[in-house]
Structure 1
Amino acid sequence: MTRTHQWTVGLNLVEEDGTTKAQAELDTGTSTLTGKGTARCNPSDVDIPAIGDELAASRAMKDLATQLMRAADRDMEAAGAVTAPTQEGTEYGWSDTAK
């Protein structure tokens, strides 16, 4: 069975007084998650707004990804899946009881 879905991610950036704030919003059509990130320019550094944008945006996207993974973990646990930690990270799979 083939499924096709479109999820939309919007990213808003606001820079003020050497601080950039980012908000990443994921809209799945049935739910919304919002990630936030901030970057501050060190007073001794040259103020390059693009770097603040990149840092704040990446932090907001990372926050969003963490929230999405937590939601997936909860849903998988409710469906009987378990996580098995490995040296490389976390692998996911169905438990023997779910087969």
Structure 2
Amino acid sequence: MPHTAEWKVRLHLFEDDEGTTKAHVVLDTGTTALTARGSAHRHPADADVPEIGDELAAGRAMIDLAHQLLQTAERDIEGVAAPRPGMPRTTA
């Protein structure tokens, strides 16, 4: 049975005066929204290249989001999985 879905991702980046870039990402599946965060801090001796901070903070937020998605999938699998041989069947 074919399945098609569209999920929307919003990524917001913020940089403060101290050289810290923060990323806030929201994944909207239409039925669920997951929120993740990431940050990057520029060392004072480093050149001020905002794109690098954006890339690091966004990448870290996306990693956080990926971990949340995997955890959600694992919980969902446990919720619908058939009992394994030798395992007692539980009822709710």
Relative to the length of structure 1, the TM-score reads 0.79
Q: Which SS does the other structure have where 1:39 is aligned?
A: strand
**Alignment deviations for residues 67-98 of structure 1 (CA, whole Å, 9 cap, x no partner):** 010000101111227xxxxxxxxxxxx9568x
1:38 corresponds to: 39
1:88 corresponds to: none
Q: Which SS does the other structure have where 2:57 is aligned?
A: helix
2:59 corresponds to: 58
Distance in 2 (CA, whole Å) between partners of 1:53 and 1:73 is 30
Provide runs of 4+ in structure 1 moved above 6 Å. Answer: none
The total of aligned residue pairs comes to 85
Higher relative contact order (Cα pairs below 8 Å, separated by 6+ residues): 2
**Alignment deviations for residues 31-63 of structure 1 (CA, whole Å, 9 cap, x no partner):** 000110000000111111000000000000000
Distance in 2 (CA, whole Å) between partners of 1:45 and 1:62 is 24
Verify: 1:9 aligned to 2:9, yes or no: yes
Structure 2: stretches of 5+ with no match in the other structure = 87-92
Q: By percentage of residues, which structure has more strand?
A: 1
Relative to the length of structure 2, the TM-score reads 0.85
2:71 corresponds to: 70
Structure 1: stretches of 5+ with no match in the other structure = 82-93
Q: Which SS does the other structure have where 2:61 is aligned?
A: helix
* Structure label with greater radius of gyration: 2
Say if 1:2 and 1:14 are closer, same or farther in 2 by CA, change over 3 A: same
CA RMSD of aligned residues (A): 1.7
